[in-house]
Each structure stands twice: as structure tokens, then as C-alpha cells.
Structure 1
Amino acid sequence: MSPLNYPNHSSSPLNKSPWVLPASPAINPFHHHQDHLPGNSLIGSLVREEGHIYSLAVSRDLLYTGSDNKNIRVWKHLKDYTDFKSSSGLVKTIIISAGKIFTGHQDGKIRVWKVSSKNPSKHKRIGSLLTFKDYMKCSMNPKNYVEVRQNWNTVKVKHFDAASNLSLDKDEGLLYSGSWDKTVNVWRVADFKCLESISRESVGGL
């Protein structure tokens, strides 16, 4: 039997999810339908006309969504809670860990955000990957450049196309970013330093 087909609705993991809302109709307009639904049924929809949604991430009872209008919107109890915007273009991917929100964008940049300690509805950008200091350091060495297109070279540790995937190794404190430029970068979360850049060419074209 599929783990999604629960004969006993009370045993469904849906009941343990932080996204199952309270019984109060003021908070949960879907409650009067919810008792009769199997564990894999739709319990509601989040709608806001602001472009296509490209990325999702959950942190406790908050849902983060990234769209093509550069906006990261935050939802709580199936309702619009707050939002914050980046200048780096379409939000391709979001990942959250240890109070930090990492967002990957169409222009290849990875932004790092943190919730304000004074106001939980406010988010502040606290850094970027690649840091300006590391970029300047790498750019001074001609060996750190790669040709990405005819007559166009760039620093190899910098994504020059969309940062489309992020994955976190919490135990090692490492963040991996995948890009449309066919590279994977390895970052140290503690100081946002790029430790390695892996390309198709460096692994034999695989």
C-alpha cells in the first residue's frame, strides 16, 4: 500500500504537519471540509497575482515562495504574511537553514537573508555568494578565468548563468549551488567562501 493511502485518517502524517490549521473558522476556512478528506487531499490554495512561482521552502509554520518578479513572499496559515525583494532577478531556488535564507537567482547570484530580531516580518540581506572580497581576490589572478563564450571570460568561481539549485550539508556546513552554466560550486556557510568550482570539463565531460 502506498504511504499516501492511509485507511485511518487519524494516522495520517498530515495531522502532524505544521500546515494543518486550527479548527477556528476565522483562521482555517477549510476546516469544515478537512475532517472528510484522505491524507493526500488538497486542503487549500495560495494565490497572489505576481508572476509564476519557481521556488518553495518551508521553515516551521512559514512558507517562502519565489517568483519571476524578483519577489520572495512569505505565507503563514495559508495567508499572505510578508515579502521582500531582490534586485537579482527571477528567484529560481530557496533553501533555509539556521536562521538564514539562501536564494538563487536568474542572474547567477546567490543572496543570503536573515529575519530581523526586532521584527519577524522583516528580512534583511546579510551577504552574497560570491563575496566582493573573494571576487576581487580571484579576479587578480589570470589563472582563475575561464572562457564562457567567444571573447568573454569570467572568474570561474562565479556563476555566469542562472543559479537554479541549492543543496545544504548541515553537518559539514557546506552549501552546493548548481547553475545553468554547467557548474557546481561548493560554499562554506560560515563565511560564504567558495571552496571549489566543478564544471563538466573538470570531470571528463560527464
Structure 2
Amino acid sequence: MAMPDKQDRLAMSAPLLPRPAAYLSSSFSFSSSSSFSSTSSSSFTDAATATTSPPTSSSSPPPTMGAACKALAVLRDHPGSVSCLSLCGEFLLSASTGADIVAWQQPDLRRFARFGHGEGSVKALAAAGGRVFSAHQDGRVRVWRVSRRSENAFKLVAALPTTRDYLGRIFRQASYVQTTTRRDSSHRRRLWIEHADSISCLAVHDGVLYSGSWDKTLKVWRTADLKCIESIRAHDDAINAVAADGGVIYSASADGRVKAWEKGKAAHFLQGVLVARDGVSWNAVAVAADHRIYAAGSDGHVVGWDRLGSRSSKVARWSIACDVKAHDMAVLCLCVVRDLLCTGSADKTIGLWRRQSGGGEIAKVGTIGGHQGPVKCLQASWCRASNGFMVYSGSLDKTIRVWWVPSALDANTDDQQQQEEKCFKDQNHNDKAATLFLR
């Protein structure tokens, strides 16, 4: 694969395509009957119809959603389960187990482009500096140039490790290491710049791309020349998530540990280990604007940590700020925007939580339902025009759903939802009794 030219390198430091002014001002109109103003298409389904239709089974409640939240759209264009989402300027990017990536253009969420490359599913997406980085099951990271001036808006420019990086190390014995994978316990010799298993997560921070893999390593790539500059044997089991914050990288693993790595002068070093309990696989990690770290566990819990002491201190400690049973089943994904924390679960629902600025606790303010499969990925952004949040969710049911969440939600909203669910169950019980009486 050819290395990026001079124009590509300059684009590395350029901002992503800006969102159109209309999106920030008056792109959305909301009402009780029609939550999204747009014409229909093959890839767009009016969510108002989907969320008000009767349940398919009398024993299951209808999709739950706070009275103030609005379902905007259901996007159906992936042949496989939706595995990851990313916001890239004016685009919402989604990828699936079908190895395809779709760019949805905002604000009307029309399919703008479909692209993809490689074998196996796309596991993670990240966007920065006019580039989109995609992580694949085949252990490669692919780099796409974003440009509206070309017919091919998403052009593949490199696959990591690059051919130049390979050729520079392939004949050096010191460049090889022994590796194992989760699927194959046998030891194999590989270049240390290669991932030996699926890449599960990506993060871009301060001119560096971080990739975490099921091979238990965290690799560091310099975005200026796309060269692998470091490989960290980070965990004892698969790495599921990675997040960056002010020179500190947090990796979450199936080994039950969330680790903090600080960028030193020559290499990254372990700054601390964040532990909440044993026997938990951490599936997702996110960092808020106030530097609080949140992790989502296989036991349905969401745990938040605060760093103690000065951020410039070489010796760091973390204390648990909150530990909440968020879902009855595993929490698979989470995202943080302003004071809103969103959690997606294997129970097919999305939890909405208000972050408390004082003691670090989180309070549940709503539950969103509608997906027919586990919620695998989440993204959220602040919408100034509507004074609320846009929440995007991808599921194993092959759909992407778009929601609007007002900024004024409070804890009473979730109580109201629970009352509505109880009323539905009571009504369902009465209907069954009436049916038995008629028989």
C-alpha cells in the first residue's frame, strides 16, 4: 500500500469537514406526531410508526421511551449486525459484521456513500484530521481520506502496518515476537508491529492512533507517517475498549482491569490500575470532560472513577465515584456528552443517566427501548438548535436508531416510564383473564 503523499500529510492536521450551518441552527423540527422532517427512502424509516405499533407478543411490553424523548429515524442498510458508530463532521459513520461502512449525511440521514475493504467485520471506527480509521477482524487498520471535492469521498490511502513499515523490519530478527490469539493457543512468530488477532477498538489523541486488540496488546501509531512506534503488552486477556484523555490512555479488558497509560518521553508507561471487582469483563470505557472515567461491565454495572491528586503527579491514584447496577444484562457500550451518560445493553435498551457534578454519582433519567437485539454501539452529540442531545444507537438487529433527548430530563421521567410499563403489564394481565373467561 502506497504511503500518503504530501497533500495527505497536510490533511492529517486539518479539521474534519464542518457540519453544515443548517444542522446547527434549524435543521430539525419536532412535534408530537412527526419527530423528524424528511421524505422517506429505502434507507430511512419513520421511527414514529415503528415505536407506536403494537407489540408482536402480548407478553412483551412496547418500546419504552421517556415522554420527552423523540424517536427520529430507523436506518436499515447493513447486511450484518451493526458493530460500531462514529461521528465524522457532517457524516454519521456506521459499520457492520458484513465488512461494510456506510456514511449517512446529516441532517436528513440519507445514505451518502458505502465503502469498505478487507476480510471479516469492521470492529471499530475513529475520525480525526480529515481521516477515518477503521479496525478490522483481519488485524489491520485501514485509513480513509475524507474529501467532498472528489467523487470518491472516502478514499482508501493506507492499511496499517504499511508496506514500507513491513519492509523496514521483515529482515530483522529483533522485530519478531511470539504471539498467541484467543482462537488459537499455539505460539507464532510475528512482527511486533502486527496485531495477531481482531482489532476491537481505536482512539485518536494528540497526533497518535491507539489500537487495542484481542491479542492483548495496545499499539501506538503516529498519524503523520502512519508508522507503528510502540507495542504495549497491556492485559492478560482481550482488550475491548480504549479512550484517551490529556496524555493518559485508558484500556479496558476482559481480564477485569481498566489500566491507565501515560505518554512518556520515550514510551508509554503504566500509571495505574482501576479495579472495581473480580470476574468482570469490561466492555467499554469513556472519559468525560471533567476527566472522570466510566467503564461498562459484563455484570450490568457502570463504574466511575475520579483521579486523586494533581494530573501532573507521576504517582496517580483513582477512587470509585459511582458503582451502579445499570442493566439486568451486560452493558456493551456507553458514551458521554456534557452531563448525559448513555448506556447500551444486551437487554436491548438504552439507559439515560444524568451525571452529578458534586459527588460523582449518576442518576437515571430515562430508558429507551425499540431495538430487537442487543445495543452494541452508541454515539451522542449536543444539538444547540433543539437544546438537546442527538443519540445514535446500533444493534445486532442490523438497524441504527436515532433519538432526540432533551437537556431538561430529570429523574422523575424514568419513574413515569416504570409506571407506564406497570400499567401495560396490568392491562395485559386483564386481557389474558378476559380471554380465558370467553373460552
Pairwise CA distance, 1:59 = 1.6
Aligned length: 185
Pairwise CA distance, 1:143 = 1.6
CA contact (8 A) 1:45 1:78 kept: no
- Alignment-derived partner of residue 65 in structure 1: 94
Calculate percent identity across the aligned residue pairs: 29
CA contact (8 A) 1:81 1:121 kept: no
Indicate whether 1:43 and 2:77 are aligned. no
**Aligned mates of 2:161, 2:135 — CA distance in 1:** 12
Pairwise CA distance, 1:64 = 0.5
Residue 138 and residue 31 in structure 1: after superposition, are their counterparts in 2 closer, same or farther (change >3 A)? closer
Residue 31 and residue 44 in structure 1: after superposition, are their counterparts in 2 closer, same or farther (change >3 A)? closer
**Aligned mates of 2:151, 2:116 — CA distance in 1:** 16
The higher radius of gyration belongs to 2
CA contact (8 A) 2:200 2:213 kept: yes
**Aligned mates of 1:52, 1:37 — CA distance in 2:** 29
- Alignment-derived partner of residue 115 in structure 2: 84
Pairwise CA distance, 1:37 = 5.9
CA contact (8 A) 2:201 2:212 kept: yes
1:128-180 deviation per Cα after TM superposition (whole angstroms, max 9, x unaligned): 2211111122221112211124352101111011111111113xx11111011
Find the partner of 1:189 among 216, 223, 234.
223
1:80-137 deviation per Cα after TM superposition (whole angstroms, max 9, x unaligned): 2211121242110000011100000001100000124533663211112211111122
Structure of greater relative contact order (alpha carbons < 8 Å, 6+ residues apart): 2
**Aligned mates of 1:51, 1:21 — CA distance in 2:** 30
Residue 151 and residue 182 in structure 1: after superposition, are their counterparts in 2 closer, same or farther (change >3 A)? closer
Q: List aligned pairs for 1:14-163, cutoff 5 A.
A: 21-23=27-29, 25-27=37-39, 38=68, 40-76=69-105, 77-119=108-150, 122-149=153-180, 150=186, 152-163=188-199
Pairwise CA distance, 1:41 = 3.6
- Alignment-derived partner of residue 167 in structure 1: 203
Residue 201 and residue 163 in structure 1: after superposition, are their counterparts in 2 closer, same or farther (change >3 A)? closer
**Aligned mates of 1:155, 1:122 — CA distance in 2:** 33
| Deviates most, 88-97 or 101-110 | 88-97
**Aligned mates of 1:32, 1:65 — CA distance in 2:** 22
Unmatched tracts of structure 1, length 5 or more: 1-15
TM-score of the pair, normalised by structure 1: 0.77
**Aligned mates of 2:88, 2:23 — CA distance in 1:** 12
Q: What is the aligned-residue RMSD (CA, Å)?
A: 3.3
TM-score of the pair, normalised by structure 2: 0.38
Counterpart of 2:126, as a letter, is I
